[in-house]
A and B are shown apart, each in its own frame.
Chain A
Amino acid sequence: MNILKTRIKLFSKEIQNQVNELLSRYPIKQNALIPILLLAQKENDGWLTEEWMKHVADCCEVPLTQVEGVVTFYTMFRLKPPGKYHLQVCTCVPCCLLGGTELLEYTEKKLKTHAGYTTADGLFSIEEMECLGACSYAPAIIVNEDYHEQVTPEKMEKLINNLSK
């Protein structure tokens, strides 16, 4: 498994500027931990490695254990690579009432994988989400950073077909 030994890539110059700007917005460096981790994760194609966590720990002047504690507490941090398109399907109360659960089942069947996993070609990953805050437009999904609302299995099929092209 060389997947855990991926490239050690530090922040690009542009992102480093964003990191410095973030650090300057808080009274102490530790406060910027979560926003900087999110930047790091974005920079590393959607997931975090130990190297990245160490780097962020240095930036924020906190121990690595604190960074690991934070990363494992919040659901948006990932320790394995997501697909190129990360499909986040909400099945929480209002979405569940309007077919969110069935939508998730459909997506799993269509992509022949399960929530929490990535397709073999690395193109799609699925995640079952708690409330996305788009309850009046249920069922809702997020693809990477974009909201799609009132999604039916037909809409999902179209979306997946378009993204597969």
Chain B
Amino acid sequence: MVEETLVLFKNIRKPEYSKTLEGYKKAGGFQTLKKVFGMKPEKVIQTVKDSGIRGRGGAGFPTGLKWSFMQKGSSKPSYLIANADESEPGTCKDRELMLKDPHLFLEGMMIGCYAVGCHHGYIYIRGEYFPAIKSLNTAIEELYADGLLGQDPMGSDFHLDLTVHSGAGAYICGEESALLDSLEGKRGQPRVKPPFPAISGFNGCPTSVNNVETLAYMPFILGDGGVDAFKSFGPENNSGTHLVSLSGHINNPGVYELRMDVSMRDIIYEIGGGIRNGKKLKGVIPGGSSSSVMTADEVDVLYNFDELANIDTMLGSSAMMVFDEDTDVVKLLLRITKFYAHESCGQCTPCREGTHWSRNIIRDFLKGNGSDEKLKRLDRVGGNMLGTTLCALGDAAALPIQSFVKKFPNDFRKYYAKK
């Protein structure tokens, strides 16, 4: 029987847990921060490196490595920005953390700020998350009142401020360089890289942008025995647990904390309770809408970064969207493509034009104007977006298109074969 492994959700899963500073401290909160204040920042970064944690925002970049890129001895201030712009369709894990256990994430963020030498951290949260914004602001007020934020918390000589910064509704601002532009008060459009944010980020200063879930692991990883425990939760190079957002045609949708060595079949049928109304599984979008779709007979793989990369898809933000045999995948792909057409920032031609073209071609199929030639064209338009844009939004739009065409060609044909 597959069960949850509780690291981030250990408080949330207790029915009696009160999400106040007092409740969090009673559950052992801020012990790790106290310990971290006694360590050198380099040692903190090394510990995070040793744990092997990879960023949980989508790209899976090793967090310790990212922090070690931060420019040392710069005359400019350093910044740590928490990326709480959770907008990838299917993903609702950071919201769960910020709503139900905000102090855990904030302690992790404070540890991160200490590690990279940041004295003012910003939490860039998507504007629609009104309840989560309130929850974070209340928690931050508590921390200031308690002296944990501001001057010299816990007798250390480290001062730290945290500010919640609300976005205003743009998916692209989840891309780190667009996020930085948005935080600076501009349109959120991805930058040319290099220079990477670690050299020139927020207002041109060294900056590290990290996902909320990634930061929330810090109190555990830097706690006693944290590194070894964390590594034991998954195979080599895929250490730790992760928060899986399960949605779609499933009996028990929800956010679950699972080890990285659980198979997708077990997640769907044991954790998720199988497909609704006794239907059969048709496919799964495994890592947010940007990942390549999988068919029902591909789900016997472990749900982690490397295993999914091996079969040409990705773990992304660990958001599994499950759909049953009655699903019209052409309509589903139309909805996905509409999303990218709406959210393309308009900067790079392949993405700005390609997302609209592909949406129009899919509409043609639904109107009964499909053909073999158009199916090929759809695949080609997708191919022309791959790797030709400044950020990954072009790829994110192309991967679902190409994989749907490859894996469900008969669903497209059915729209024009009748004629």
Interface residues of A in 71-92 (CB under 8 A from B): 73-77, 88, 91-92
| Best-surrounded residue of B88, B126, B253, B255 (most CB of chain A within 10 A) | B253
Of B131, B169, B185, B327, the contact of A75 (CB 8 Å cutoff):
B169
Measured in the bound complex, the distance between the Cα atoms of B255 and A134 in whole Å is 10
A97-B323 contact, Cβ under 8 Å, with A60-B185, A74-B168: yes
Chain B residues with CB below 8 A from A145, complex form: 130-131
Measured in the bound complex, the distance between the Cα atoms of B245 and A133 in whole Å is 10
A142 within 8 Å of B by Cβ? yes
Chain A residues with CB below 8 A from B247, complex form: 94, 97, 135-136, 138
Nearest CB of chain A from residue B160's CB, rounded to whole Å: 13
Of A26, A70, A135, A138, the contact of B187 (CB 8 Å cutoff):
A70
Contacting pair B89 A131 (CB below 8 A): yes
Chain A residues with CB below 8 A from B128, complex form: 76, 88, 129, 132-133, 142
Of A66, A98, A101, the contact of B248 (CB 8 Å cutoff):
A98
B166 within 8 Å of A by Cβ? yes
A136-B253 contact, Cβ under 8 Å, with A28-B203, A98-B248: yes
What are 20 pairs between A and B in contact, CB < 8 Å?
A27-B203, A30-B185, A31-B184, A33-B186, A34-B168, A38-B168, A70-B187, A76-B168, A77-B168, A93-B285, A93-B289, A94-B321, A97-B249, A97-B327, A98-B248, A101-B335, A129-B128, A130-B87, A130-B89, A133-B86
Instruction: Beyond the given A93-B335, A133-B128, please list 11 additional residue pairs across the A-B interface where CB-CB is below 8 A.
Output: A27-B120, A33-B186, A34-B167, A70-B186, A75-B169, A76-B127, A92-B89, A93-B336, A97-B327, A129-B128, A145-B131
Q: Which residues of B contact A (CB under 8 A)?
A: 77, 86-92, 95, 120, 126-131, 161, 163, 165-171, 182-188, 203, 245-249, 253-255, 285, 289, 319, 321, 323, 327, 331-332, 335-336, 339, 342-343, 345
